[in-house]
Structure 1
Amino acid sequence: MKKVQFSDKFVKKTVAVALAVTLAGCSTPPPQNTSDICEIFRENRSWYKAAAAASDNWGMPIAIPMSIMYQESSFKHNARPPMRWFLGFIPYGRASSAYGYSQAKTVTWDEYVTEADRFWASRNDFADAIDFIGWYMDKTYRLNKVSKWDGYNQYLNYHEGWGGYRRGSYKNKAWLLTVARRVDDRAKIYSAQLRKCEKDLQRGWLWRLFFE
């Protein structure tokens, strides 16, 4: 029987794929380069698939929820507000119940779980978190008529809540307006970057195994 030989490149890529599958259930560390959405998705290919699914589900561009997530958690799965201390050494809780990639508060997350029928969702799961942001953006559009392509006002809604935005609670918060502008600017950068690499990201792992 003729012995089949595989190239070193083929073997290395096969091992890499197997390792990725093995580690899929583990907590994903933050991307090494958060300033480039192409690098983020190349490092975590499943994140692109999840982001594209959320985009299809809620009709929003991928770049804005990714920019919001960067601002809220720096892509840390277990991010939460810092602990507050009384007299400098007695802990007395956190500023809010915000948690996970999206920094969703418990009450709002529960609303999402019910309305989107995603009772299995978890705030420290990237796919669930970006779907949550998509849901929030869609509801912002429906309640406050803010375009899903308007990163600036979408973030103000995300931070202040739908009622707070309607009341103009952000107007006297100069720091928040600066942050919202930063989120919008980053979303525009992410969008331009994604246009250059999305075709490659849409290719499956089998294509990459043999042709990259």
Structure 2
Amino acid sequence: MLNFNKTLRHYIKSTVLLILLLILSACTASQPKNTQNVCEIFREKDNWFDYTQSTYDKWGVPIHVQMAIIHQESRFIADAQPPRPWILGFIPWFRDSSAYGYPQAQDSTWDWYLDDAGSWSADRDVFEDASDFVGWYCAVSYKQLGISKWDTAKQYLAYHEGHTGYKRKSYLKKPWLLKVSKKVAKQARTYNQQLNACKAELENSGWFFW
């Protein structure tokens, strides 16, 4: 009986700990309350500013460009995925794309990133890794296609169409995509203006990781 009670207490403690960890994980991965204001995003999400600054230092891709692309792709939802098709309205079917996470990176592109950037432990639903991925991809676009790391519209076209598609100018046959790229560029400009007003605060807030 004594051993049973001890085992039961251990089980209860383990279960409570697991629930707490799940709750904390859910809170950390929740979508920012105000996705239109980059200062509010960074104030709410500890270390996100540090992560994007680290990506800028590593790959040379500005913070506002990173954030605008991630905003367009997932609205900062950690486990974002394309909608699942339904057969006859009630039978779930396979998704048309393997895109997943904050950057909506497809499996093949993510595997390329893991291999090329040496980030084998990275995950698409971890913001730090998503920021690094976007920085890496835009840096490759600069190297292979000559697209400025500050040119959000063209960087987004290469991000969406892939480097081969961009070379073929596949986006010219997609007027809707050209409109989206302009929208992403506008979002980046807004983020940049906002960031200029709060960057000193963020840098001096003591949120930097070591």
Q: Structure 1 residue 47 and structure 2 residue 48: aligned?
A: yes
Which is helix-richer, 1 or 2? 2
**1:19-168 alignment runs, 5 A limit:** 23=24, 27-168=28-169
How much has 1:131 moved relative to structure 2?
Answer: 0.4
Question: Given the two structures, how large is their TM-score scaled by the length of structure 1?
Answer: 0.84
Partner-residue secondary structure (3-state), 1:40:
helix
Aligned letter for 1:202?
A: E
Question: Is the alpha carbon distance of 1:79 and 1:25 closer, same or farther for their aligned partners in structure 2, counting shifts above 3 Å?
Answer: closer
2:19 aligns with: none
| CA offset digits 1:5-48 (Å, max 9, x no partner) | xxxxxxxxxxxxxxxxx947854211111111111101113100
| TM-score (norm. length: structure 2) | 0.84
Question: How many residues are aligned here?
Answer: 186
Question: 1:198 corresponds to which residue?
Answer: 199
Alpha-carbon distance, 1:50 to partner = 0.5
Q: Displacement, 1:88? A: 2.2
Whole-angstrom CA distance in 2 between matches of 1:164 and 1:151 = 17
Distance 1:167 1:91 in 2: 35
Ranges in structure 1 where 5+ consecutive residues have no aligned partner: 1-21, 208-212
Give the stretch that moved more between structures: 24-33 or 86-95: 24-33
- Distance, in Å, in 2 between the alignment partners of 1:91 and 1:197 is 45
Asked whether the 8 Å contact 1:45–1:201 carries over to 2, the reply is no
Q: In structure 1, what is the Cα distance between the partners aligned to 2:207 and 2:124?
A: 30
State the Cα deviation string for residues 171-204 of structure 1 (Å, max 9, x = none).
Answer: 0111111110000000011011101111110124
1:95 deviates by 1.4
CA distance in structure 2 between the partners assigned to 1:194 and 1:67 by the alignment? 12
**For the Cα contact (< 8 Å) 1:80–1:98, is it kept in 2?**
yes
What letter is aligned with 1:187? A
d(CA) in 2 for partners of 1:185, 1:69: 14
- Closer, same or farther in 2 for the Cα pair 1:143/1:23, shift >3 Å? same
1:24–1:47 Cα change, 3 Å: farther
CA distance in 2, matches of 1:155, 1:206: 29
RMSD, aligned CA:
1.8
* Partner of residue 9, structure 1: none
Q: Which amino acid aligns with 2:41?
A: I
Question: Which consecutive unaligned segments of at least 5 residues does structure 2 have?
Answer: 1-22
